Amino acid sequence: MTTLPDQCPLEVRVRRIHRRDLNRAWEFLKLVFRDVNRETVEYQRPRSKARFCDIYDEEGTEQLLFETDGQIVGYAECTFEVDGKGSWLNPRYFEKREMRPIFVEELAVHPGYQGKGVGNFILEQIHHLARLRGCTHVVLEVAENNTDALRWYRKRSFYKLDAAIFMAQKVATEPDLLPPRRLREKKARAEILAGSERRKGESQKAAPKGRKGGSA
């Protein structure tokens, strides 16, 4: 249980996700990450609905829903093993440092319930699973410009392991079409008249001449 600042009790229950929850859990994740996805080079979460639904059938992945009065207020997705195939993690990095991490793929709190203890409850649940599995670290990914999330994690003693930095270089380019041009009125009128006279002369030259002596 967690408590609102005004002492109004808010009971949050955690359970494992069921197949019937997939659609509304997907909509919940889109809501949570909508704003941050607009501001980041790489989409944070979720990648795609198809991928999200496939995870349900994967072994070794925990998908947890946090609810109050039947409404989803939080979601967590974590795994304990990484095979290095199609993953954002390099298992050798952790093996070399004798780290046994629990990998958090998702940690999401409903925008309307942020700052009310839901995130702390989710993190406490993740730590509980980590201890049961003998893990030594909680590892997750967050965009550097997701300042609210970074601030939240750093307050809870998360620290930076490594980083992939997106870099860009501006290329000098020119537009395909010429920019608007302000034409001089006299010159423009002269060009129009010249074009009209030229078309008139061409029309007269092309006209057929009449027969001499009139019609038969």
**Cα separation of the two ends of the chain:** 113
CB 8 within 8 A of CB 19: no
- Say if CB 141 and CB 107 are below 8 A apart: no
Cis? peptide before 5, omega within 30° of 0: no
Strands (E), 52-140: 61-68, 71-79, 101-109, 137-140
Q: Is residue 70 part of a domain?
A: yes
Q: Has residue 23 been placed in a domain?
A: yes
> Helix (H, G, I), strand (E, B), or coil: what is residue 83?
coil
Residue 201: per-residue pLDDT: 67
Residue 199 lies in a domain: no
Looking at the structure of the chain, the number of domains it has is 1
Is residue 28 in some structural domain? yes
pLDDT value at position 215? 46
Alpha-carbon span 91 to 94, nearest angstrom: 6
Where in the sequence is the domain holding 144, given as residue range(s)?
A: 2-155
Q: What pLDDT does residue 3 have?
A: 44
Instruction: Give the pLDDT score at 134.
Output: 92
pLDDT for position 12: 96
In this prediction, residue 158 carries a pLDDT of 94
Q: Along the chain (216 residues), what's the average pLDDT of each consecutive run of 10 residues?
A: 58 96 94 79 71 87 95 94 64 89 92 94 96 93 84 93 74 85 71 71 63 48
Does 177 fall in a domain? no
**Total count of residues recorded for the chain:** 216
- Confirm whether pTM is higher than 0.85: no
CATH number for the domain spanning 108: value is 3.40.630.30
Helix (H, G, I), strand (E, B) or coil at 10: strand
pLDDT at residue 189 in the model: 66
User: Within a domain: residue 26?
Assistant: yes
Looking at the domain assignment, is residue 198 inside a domain? no
